Amino acid sequence: MLEHVYWIPLIPLFTSVVILFGGKEGKDSKMPYLGIAAMAWCFLQSSVIFFQTLTGRIPLLEGKEYFLYERIPWLSWGPNLKVHLGVLIDGPAATLLFVVTLVSLLVQIYSLGYMYDDKRKKRYYAFLSFFTAAMLGLVVSSSLLILFAAWELVGVSSYLLIGFWFEKPGPAYAAKKAFITTKLGDCGFYFGLLLLFSYTGTFDLVMLKSHVAQGLLPLEAATAIGIGFLIGAIGKSAQMPLFIWLPDAMEGPTPVSALIHAATMVVAGIYLVARVYFIYTSAPLALGAVAWVGLFTAFLAATMAVTAYDIKKVLAYSTISQLGYMMLGLGVYGYTSALFHLTTHAFFKALLFLGAGSVIHSVHTNDMREMGGLIKRMPATATTMGIATLTIAGMPLLSGWWSKEAVLHAAYSHNWGMWLLGVLTAGLTSFYMCRLFFLTFIGEPRDPHKHQHAHESPATMTGPLWVLAMLSLFAGGLLHYNGLFEHLVHFEVVGHGEHAGGSHAPAFLLPGAAIFVFLLGLGFAYRLYAGSLKTAQGLRDRFEWAADTLERRYYFDDFFLWLVSLSDKLAAACFWIDSRVVDAIFVDGWALVVRAVAAASDFFDDYFVDGAVDGMGTLTQDAGWGLRKLVRGQVQEYLLYVSLAVAVFATFLISR
């Protein structure tokens, strides 16, 4: 299984081509089943690899920290400039393979129900397969260059899928926004990549690691590269300040949001940082930047989620916030905890999105103010959503609890201030998630008409929900049990033990604080949103300026729009300079000079060059006219000439 891991990205790639170009388009297209079958195979292979590596059935290679490293030469520009196509399977890669194929499979099954009457089903499944192929390629690649290519391909897939309903202006706009915003981050990634190559001459992760271990990368370069990669990750993983695309990306189909904008693509940034963690550990400044970016993103996004009424937007902010947690984990040397949180988050966030999709599918609105009391109409959805809500909110012993605790523990060992803000964020998380649940499922139906027409979703949709609910309940505990996950995914930081620099907390403090904020958030949410919304509305009216700030996302969008309008003005000024100054002097002025030179050249050509040519002709003609007078057709004259010539020559000869 493991040695054929390269099939895992290739199968969906071929499948996407087959789906796109084969079969018939339409509601009754059979192509979705092909996509699901291919993904089922990939999932099977990935899960075998994951469990074998997790349980130690497949050992690490002798003296190495990876399970498989194979490569074939691809591009060569000389003896020392080679790029290889290769796979590198280590703990994080094996985990990600499992997570990506699982979520992708469940989302594809779920989409059978969600997209059942869409007229472009075939195209939808082709895009899903293509996205999964690109994401899996990103996960397994041993070369940063291939990783970058796959990184861009997931960006393209994301663009295609957000704008899947491109007839509507919203999705078309959101797709563009997502693509351009993430491209801004990719500039940083690309810059880091070039800088890295200029110092080490390789894109290969294994070779890079040994180069860095040998100290070939100066501190300044490592810092610059780390910051560059961080900017790429900020774009892709929707961190401050480039997070603005993710809430808008909710215009896409909800299963797509679950797959791409919750569980897989947005963790690519986290995965990138984890893949090149050896660079960050050698550049403390860059690692510190990772931590602070993650922390502030987690906190600010959580506050934004508090006031949102669009069910998917709440989840989008929540995703941003949780991604911030992962960044924070990486930044405070909690490598294992960050990837652990990534794994559990993929489960419960995919579940939340799919559950929200189920609700939207049923009531045909995103606005939570028009929902309420849906638990009676959709018991399965409500139950699974409830499980996911408790998981993300931090209910002890569920998946989210274990991973979030690990992150916060790492933060506490590093800097207790970071921990404090992290715990505050956890409380906010508990509050806004419970708020979402209460607004949607509990209380009186606020829109009786919609409530009446609400219905439970079909089994193709609830099935994946239950699978993810089980994972949300137990996966964290199982993976945490006996340090299994820590054994699979860990990173030895030279000269930095887990507890070396930080402080020890009393054993009860960390879990105690987490449970306290969880209950606090739950209680507040229950008080404000479970019954009538009057108190909540009163609070909102009283702190309108705060609510406005949050709803406008701390004016980040306005900031970027201002930046764009500024660059518009700059462009206008440049245009003025170009047309009035540059064109006038260099283009028009140059034209005048050229015309003058041309006139001079024309004069010279007419009177000197042509004069010489014509003169030669005239001379020859005149000479001819003169000479013909000698030839009068008188044969005796000719004879006279001959005789005279002979006489002259004879005289000359004799007298010599």
Q: How far is the CB of 636 from another protein (least distance, A)?
A: 5
206-214, 333-341, 395-403, 633-641 -> range binding another protein (CB under 8 A) = 633-641
Q: How far is the CB of 628 from another protein (least distance, A)?
A: 4
Residue with tokens 């993983």: 237
- Asked whether the beta carbons of 175 and 163 are under 8 A apart, the reply is yes
Evaluate the CA torsion angle 251, 253, 259, 265 in order and state its sign: negative
Quick check: 609 binds another protein (CB under 8 A)?
A: no
Give the chain's largest Cα–Cα span. 146
Angle formed by the axes of helices 459-480 and 379-393, to 10°?
Answer: 30
Quick check: 653 binds another protein (CB under 8 A)?
A: no
397/646 with CB nearer another protein: 646
Quick check: 623 binds another protein (CB under 8 A)?
A: no
Residues 376-395 that bind another protein (CB under 8 A): none
Start-to-end C-alpha separation, the chain = 112
285-293, 434-442, 551-559, 621-629 -> range binding another protein (CB under 8 A) = 621-629
Quick check: 634 binds another protein (CB under 8 A)?
A: yes
H or E stretch including 89? strand 82-89
Quick check: 651 binds another protein (CB under 8 A)?
A: no
450: Cβ–Cβ under 8 A, 6 or more apart, which residues? 363, 364, 365, 370, 371
- Distance CA(417)–CA(398), nearest Å, equals 26
197-205, 252-260, 489-497, 631-639 -> range binding another protein (CB under 8 A) = 631-639
Q: How far is the CB of 649 from another protein (least distance, A)?
A: 16
Quick check: 654 binds another protein (CB under 8 A)?
A: no
Quick check: 656 binds another protein (CB under 8 A)?
A: no
- Distances in Å between the Cα of 366 and the Cα atoms of 259, 312, 357, 371, 392 are 18, 7, 9, 9, 21
Exactly one of 565, 567, 643, 651 binds another protein (CB under 8 A); that residue is 643
**x-or-dash string of contact with another protein, 568-607, rule CB under 8 A:** ----------------------------------------
Q: How far is the CB of 597 from another protein (least distance, A)?
A: 48
494/630 with CB nearer another protein: 630
Exactly one of 593, 631, 653, 654 binds another protein (CB under 8 A); that residue is 631
Strands 82-89, 68-76: pairing is antiparallel
495/633 with CB nearer another protein: 633
Residues β-bridged to residue 76: 82
Q: Which DSSP category does 115 fall into?
A: T
412-420, 523-531, 615-623, 624-632 -> range binding another protein (CB under 8 A) = 624-632
507/627 with CB nearer another protein: 627
Quick check: 636 binds another protein (CB under 8 A)?
A: yes
- Distances in Å between the Cα of 539 and the Cα atoms of 166, 242, 317, 351, 547 are 38, 30, 21, 31, 10
- Distances in Å between the Cα of 467 and the Cα atoms of 103, 159, 652 are 10, 28, 126
Residues that bind another protein (CB under 8 A): 627-636, 639-640, 643
